[in-house]
Amino acid sequence: MNRLLKIVFLSSILYPSCQKENLSLCENLNNRLSDRVDFYLGTAVDLPNLLNNQDYSQIINNQFNSVTAENIMKPAYLHPSLNTYYWTEADQLADYCIANSKRLHGHTLIWHNQLPEWILNYQGSTDDWENLLREHIFQIVNHFKGKVSSWDVVNEAFNDDGTLRNSIWKEKLGPSYIEKAFNYARQADPNAKLFYNDYSLAINPMKRTAVLNCLNSLKSKGTPIDGIGMQMHIFNSFPENNEISNAINEIWKNDYLVHISELDISINPFSHAMQIPPEDELKRQAEKYLYIFKTYDNIPDQYKFGITIWGVSDNVSWIRKFYNRDDFPLLFDDNYQPKPAFCKLISNL
Ligand code: G3I
């Protein structure tokens, strides 16, 4: 059987939804996507799906070598009350990562969102709040030491206009909560890579400048900040490709590891009824994913922390629930079949 016939046969068996694609895009389908790049390739993982959904878990097993917990390592889940920590589900994920040689990125220690009620209602002095912050970070980072390679220490601390968000942490501890958090995380784990993580860093240069100015100032005082997570919840039509490359390059040139930490590419920003994704939008999406991967691959190796796709397949994307709209932002479709974006990446990287 000649090579093209074999490709046709394999593609029709392995990945039927690629059949519509230009077959040359899919000729490497039996390769693992993470083998096609020289940086970690991750995905956001929902534990119940990992444990109970074979289609979902097979994609993670075969295509990714890094994992971020989509929710179960956030404060509301790990620290449900002042003197109670809940490790069971996060430990199951950590054990899966060890058994399957996947890197585990910790998301996230300090955030304004998904906080347990007791933190929102906690009454105490500034010293009490500093003790709360330190104990929260020490307990969690110590528990996962050696299993979690890196942490989003602080998530989404800035507003779009570049000012600091008035989170409960800023309200109770002032802006210094950021440097405190990084210092406590470093004391708890001398080896973990410590990240600041935020959204709109490509599309909003004012916010990006404010973040870099703040982090550079903290670093100049010895605050241990290793990298910046660019979440990259983006769209086919924005940000423009040059805005993305400008942002990625500005961050590594400021001597930070770059983690594209939550990548998804919406194709329905105006929430139209969209039962079936238009072919032309899927093609644009494929090209945008490839542009991002190629741009990222061109930065100096020492700044490549990795790319994490924020979810395995369109049916489980947070975007559909949060915005209550039809959307198709990921690499695999509702039936766990590869989309043109996957074919484009696996065939061109
Ligand atoms: O766990 C409860 C469940 O017990 C309850 O029955 C159910 C009722 O709806 O809610 C469940 O919690 C949901 C949780 O996801 C787990 O599924 C929350 O309502 C829901 O708000 C939460 O959404 C998550 C969102 O963060 C919260 O802000 C998304 O899955 C997650 O993808 C999203 O991820 C964030 C990053 O952490 C930070 N960057 C932005 C990104 C997108 O918002």
pLDDT in tens, 208-241: 999 999 999 999 999 999 999 999 999 999 999 9
Active site residues: 156, 262
Q: What pLDDT sits at residue 55?
A: 96
Distance in Å, CA 6 to ligand 1 centroid: 43
Q: What pLDDT sits at residue 253?
A: 98
* Shortest-distance atom of ligand 1 to CA 107: 37
| pTM recorded for the entire structure | 0.94
Averaged over 155-184, what is the pLDDT? 98
Inform me whether the pLDDT recorded for 8 exceeds 90: no
Peptide bond into 223 cis (omega under 30): no
Inform me whether the pLDDT recorded for 1 exceeds 70: no
Range name among 29-38, 45-54, 88-97, 232-241 with the lowest pLDDT average: 29-38
Pocket perturbation via mutation, ligand 1, pick of 93, 195, 322 by most ligand atoms within 8 A of CB: 322
Tell me which residue has its CA closest to atom 21 in ligand 1: 322
b/e sequence 265-291, b meaning 16+ C-beta within 10 Å: bbbbeeeeeeeebeeebbebbbbbbbe
Distance in Å, CA 248 to ligand 1 centroid: 27
Name, in order, each residue with C-beta under 8 angstroms of 240's C-beta and a sequence gap of 6 or more.
none
What CA–CA distance (Å, rounded) separates 307 from 310?
10
Which amino acid is it at 185? A
Inform me whether the pLDDT recorded for 4 exceeds 60: no
Distance in Å, CA 71 to ligand 1 centroid: 6
Name, in order, each residue with C-beta under 8 angstroms of 81's C-beta and a sequence gap of 6 or more.
116, 118
pLDDT in tens, 175-216: 999 999 999 999 999 999 999 999 999 999 999 999 999 999
Inform me whether the pLDDT recorded for 26 exceeds 60: no
Inform me whether the pLDDT recorded for 59 exceeds 60: yes
Range name among 140-144, 261-265, 345-349 with the lowest pLDDT average: 345-349
Averaged over 317-343, what is the pLDDT? 97
Length of the chain: 349
Q: Output phi, psi for 287, to 5 deg.
A: -65, -35
Pocket perturbation via mutation, ligand 1, pick of 109, 113, 197, 318 by most ligand atoms within 8 A of CB: 318
Percent of the chain with pLDDT over 70: 91
Q: Output phi, psi for 227, to 5 deg.
A: -160, 170
Q: Output phi, psi for 328, to 5 deg.
A: -140, 65
Distance in Å, CA 322 to ligand 1 centroid: 8
Distance in Å, CA 323 to ligand 1 centroid: 12
Q: What pLDDT sits at residue 172?
A: 98
Q: What pLDDT sits at residue 92?
A: 98
How close are the terminal C-alpha atoms of the chain, in Å? 26
Averaged over 74-80, what is the pLDDT? 98
Averaged over 325-332, what is the pLDDT? 98
Q: What pLDDT sits at residue 21?
A: 45
CB count within 10 Å of CB 125 equals: 9
Q: What pLDDT sits at residue 28?
A: 53
Number of H helices, E strands in the chain: 14, 9
The token pair that represents 50 in the structure block: 């990992």
Q: At 31, is the pLDDT very low, low, confident or very high (cuts 50, 70, 90)?
A: confident
Give residues (CB < 6 A) around ligand 1: 70-71, 113-114, 155, 231, 262, 318
Asked if residue 69 lies in contact with residue 114, where contact means CB atoms within 8 angstroms, the answer is: no
Angstrom CA distances, 257 to 196, 225, 294, 304, 320, stand at: 10, 9, 17, 6, 30
Pocket perturbation via mutation, ligand 1, pick of 67, 70, 78 by most ligand atoms within 8 A of CB: 70
pLDDT in tens, 287-308: 999 999 999 999 999 999 999 9
> Residue 106, exposed/middle/buried by CB under 10 A (0-12, 13-18, 19+)?
buried
Mean pLDDT of the chain: 93
Tell me which residue has its CA closest to atom 35 in ligand 1: 70
